[in-house]
């Protein structure tokens, strides 16, 4: 695996690969890699001639400076994992390489960024859109791979790809979970064993909500989820929403044969975690 730190070098290398007819798969990450990332990398390796992973903890998508400072950085371990799944290139720039000058460009995603993560993390998706646009321009992939855990981010990137006519296919893979049900996340590295066990209740709350969907009104379900999590020490619920999976706008009434996204965010000890599941209420 070749490690590249300069934008000019990755551009030149990717242009050469494209000109030679190679299909490029790309997995953008912020490092602290886990099985969820490895699933995407294996998929890319199967479906493309060349796989590129980027590791960059993007400062512009953090609205909490302390969160950025404490975000886990495990480069040596990450490189070993990338080699184990036959990744071809690692793009590992620093912030000065990516942001050579202050970024003034502002993205707007309308109603999509006015709910959930957009509502609770002002400026977050502008930072996401900025770095994703830069990476797509540098690497010019044929396919880009994301995980369902960041469902709203995937929707934002999909809108970005359509709006700016990026010539690539966006591929989304299901969330990978620990044995307890906890969604795998780089942020889990900051949880101690007790907090990890507590955090599994977020998935349990999603499952509980899904089981109630056919019988109870949405407001009752939301209240029961809030009451359940409030009863557990070290969990502070930020939001729980039942939304349309395409637009992520809140769903007001449950209808049969309707797909819904159940989305949650909560503080567990010192760490903010998100999770979601998709539910399809079939007529049968």
36 annotated as ligand-binding: yes
Residues 116, 241: contact at Cβ < 8 Å? yes
Q: Angle 166-41-44 (CA atoms, 0-180°, nearest 5)?
A: 55
54 annotated as ligand-binding: no
120 annotated as ligand-binding: no
Residues 24, 82, 173, 28: is their CA dihedral positive or negative? negative
181 annotated as ligand-binding: no
Residues 6+ apart with CB under 8 A from 9: none
The total of other beta-carbon atoms located within 10 Å of residue 217's CB is 13
Phi-psi region of 4 (alpha: psi -120 to 50; beta: other; left: phi over 0): beta
186 annotated as ligand-binding: yes
227 annotated as ligand-binding: no
Among 37, 120, 124, 137, the active-site one is: 37
32 annotated as ligand-binding: yes
150 annotated as ligand-binding: yes
57 annotated as ligand-binding: no
254 annotated as ligand-binding: no
d(Cα 159, Cα 154) in Å, to the nearest integer?
A: 9
> How distant is the alpha carbon of residue 202 from its chain centre?
17
14 annotated as ligand-binding: no
152 annotated as ligand-binding: no
269 annotated as ligand-binding: no
d(Cα 262, Cα 242) in Å, to the nearest integer?
A: 5
Q: Residue 239 forms beta bridges with which residues?
A: 265
267 annotated as ligand-binding: no
Residues 178, 247: contact at Cβ < 8 Å? no
153 annotated as ligand-binding: yes
Whether residue 120 lies in the annotated active site: no
d(Cα 58, Cα 28) in Å, to the nearest integer?
A: 11
d(Cα 207, Cα 5) in Å, to the nearest integer?
A: 42
d(Cα 183, Cα 199) in Å, to the nearest integer?
A: 9
Instruction: Outline where 85-150 has alpha helix (H).
Output: 95-98, 117-120, 124-139
234 annotated as ligand-binding: no
Binding residues for (R)-pantoate: 61, 153
Binding residues: 30-37, 61, 147-150, 153, 176, 184-187
Catalytic machinery residues: 37
Binding residues for ATP: 30-37, 147-150, 176, 184-187
Binding residues for beta-alanine: 61
């Amino acid at each position: 695996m070749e490690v590249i730190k300069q934008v000019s070098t990755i551009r030149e290398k990717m242009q050469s690969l494209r000109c030679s007819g190679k299909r490029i798969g790309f997995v953008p990450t912020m490092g602290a890699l886990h099985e969820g990332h490895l699933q995407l990398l294996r998929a890319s390796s199967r479906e493309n001639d060349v796989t590129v992973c980027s590791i960059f903890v993007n400062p512009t998508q953090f609205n909490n400076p302390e969160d950025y400072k404490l975000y886990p950085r495990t480069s040596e371990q990450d490189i070993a994992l990338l080699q184990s799944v036959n990744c071809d290139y690692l793009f590992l720039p620093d912030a000065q390489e990516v942001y050579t000058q202050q970024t003034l460009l502002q993205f707007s995603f309308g109603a999509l960024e006015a709910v959930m993560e957009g509502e609770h993390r002002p400026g977050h998706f502008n930072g996401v859109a900025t770095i994703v646009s830069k990476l797509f321009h540098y690497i010019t992939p044929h396919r880009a791979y994301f995980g369902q855990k960041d469902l709203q981010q995937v929707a934002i990137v999909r809108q970005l790809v359509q709006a700016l006519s990026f010539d690539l296919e966006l591929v989304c893979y299901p969330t990978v979970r620990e044995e307890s049900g906890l969604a795998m996340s780089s942020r889990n590295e900051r949880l101690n064993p007790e907090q990890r066990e507590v955090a599994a209740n977020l998935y349990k709350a999603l499952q509980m909500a899904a089981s109630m969907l056919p019988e109870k009104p949405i407001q009752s379900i939301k209240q029961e989820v809030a009451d359940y999590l409030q009863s557990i020490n070290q969990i502070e619920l930020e939001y729980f929403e039942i939304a349309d999976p395409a637009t992520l706008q809140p769903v007001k009434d449950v209808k049969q044969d309707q797909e819904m996204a159940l989305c949650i965010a909560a503080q567990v000890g010192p760490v903010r975690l998100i999770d979601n599941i998709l539910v399809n209420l079939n007529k049968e």
